[in-house]
Chain A
Amino acid sequence: MARHRRAMRLIAVAVLLLATAAPSAAGDVAAGRRKALACQACHGLDGLSKLPDAPHLAGQPERYLVKSLDEYRKGVRKNELMTLVVKDLSDQDIADLASYYSAIEVSRAAAEVSPGAVSCSKWNFSMCRTHPRSRSRTRPLPAAIYCSRQLEQECAD
């Protein structure tokens, strides 16, 4: 019984050591969530990108987030928006933000590839001949008709 208790204590100490050794110790997730209000418009409070030229941050490696923010702050990386928002961040802010975004759990699945996508030219070829503004059934619309380069070629006289 005594030996069992000692073993438990050892495990507890080991867990504690592991926890302090982890890089997340520096950042505070709760503080990071509050600070992330200034990131949510582009990266989301959920860490999922809200506009096409901003990356997802959810579940990103914490070290990578710290490194990226630090590089923007130093001017090593430049971006019209990021350069502006990081300029007043402290080391603690960066640590908190990195720990918040890296703590968001994400699930992943490989993309499914569906066969048989319809090509533009094939799909629209009929339009060139049947469009009501076209003068005859065989004469396509003038050069203004537009779908893709491929279609323009097919529609050309």
Chain B
Amino acid sequence: MDIPQVPQTGAKADAIKKNLARIKLPRGFKIGLYAIVPDARHLAVGPQGVVTFVGTRKSKVWAVTDRDKDRVADEVKEFAPSISFAIPNGVCFSKDGFLFIAEQNRVLVYPAAEFFYEGPDVAAFVVVKQGELIPPEEESYNHTSRVCRIGPDDKLYITLGQPFNVYAPEKMDLYKKSGIGGIVRMSREGKDREVFATGVRNSVGMDFNPKDKALWFTDNQVDGMGDNQPPGELNRADKAGMNFGFPYFGGGKTRTNEYKNQTPPADVTFPQVEMDAHAADLGMTFYNGRMFPQNYRGGIFSAQHGSWNRTTPVGARVMFTKLKDDGTADKTEVFADGWLTENGEYLGRPVDVAQLPDGSLLVSDDFAGAIYRIWYDGR
């Protein structure tokens, strides 16, 4: 049984390519259309370099293959069409080729997904049973884009957004215990689950620094406090058990109205980088390639989805954060922008960034339904 493919040419591809002509990058970098992928969210580049798996916030996961290695995908098809997914946003690979997919309330693992994806018969194993990632009564659509990573300790890390703008105090005990509004980790078989980080509002991007093994993650901050506060966040967790301040802090050091009269915990860790308010920092990756100039190696690329209700929209960019020798943030700059027109209209909304084996950078966009590739040729 053949799985239908997503057409890669035509009016839509032409329109997206035309929009890409507006994207501004540092000198020597180029951007091109890599693949048309409907609702493209988070990216997992296969360690064999064969397939890139793409999550969505709907019900499909896509498998994207560049068969002729011209650095443009020539095949996009549904992964495991026989499995019904619910918000399969979080996709991540272990180094030995196991694909993990974190859904709204289930985690499955697909051994050797890069080899078995060709047909509809895909073997899958349960890591977290349906209904056991979070208590089912806490399920929502809002803030339910999970992301996952296999850590240097070979454990599975998953971000769990809390479903509200600011949750009510009676939720606090349950959320702390279950890791909602935080990051949880467990063995690759789903055992020994523990809460790794708390005080997070809605993280939709994380990656480990291969140099010092610290976990960095983005966090989306509180709405309804005006256009210019609180800031978005890029955080660093160098050990388990850290508290990142929510709901006492709504982003950076800005206190939330709901908790302003309560004393925050003494051990709150503030972000390494404060990003533009409401820019919606989502996916991120450390850059370990050799294609980009030295300045970018060991730094962080992160995607800003763009604000959802700010009076004047902001974001829809790819940011770059350089680190200091001690592993903390140095400075953040805009790397790619132009998806937001001067009239405030979105032409695209970047979601995630991932590095291809050749050192180029993929950027997913769930508004245009596409994946772009950014490469460096020095010209």
Contact = CB atoms under 8 A, between A and B. Distances in A.
Interface of A: 37-42, 45, 50-53, 80-81, 84-85, 87, 118, 120, 123-124, 126-127, 130-131, 133, 141, 144-148, 151
Interface in B315-369: 344-346, 349, 367
B143 to A, nearest CB: 9
B311 interface: yes
Contact of B311 (A38, A118, A141, A145): A38
B307 A146 contact: no
B307 A84 contact: no
B311 A120 contact: no
A51 B145 CA distance: 12
Given A38-B311, A42-B308, A123-B82, A133 B1 contact: no
Contacts of B256: none
B165 interface: yes
B309 interface: yes
Contact of A145 (B124, B140, B141): B124
A146 B108 contact: yes
A133 B367 contact: no
A53 B141 contact: yes
A146 B311 contact: no
B57 A51 contact: yes
A145 B123 contact: yes
A93 to B, nearest CB: 11
Contact of A80 (B84, B123, B165): B165
B150 to A, nearest CB: 19
Interface in B149-170: 163-165
Given A52-B58, A145-B123, 19 more contacts: A37-B312, A38-B311, A40-B345, A40-B346, A41-B306, A41-B349, A50-B367, A51-B141, A80-B140, A80-B165, A81-B142, A81-B308, A84-B223, A84-B224, A84-B309, A123-B120, A123-B121, A124-B121, A131-B123
Given A53-B141, A87-B224, A126-B121, A41 B82 contact: no
A144 B126 contact: yes
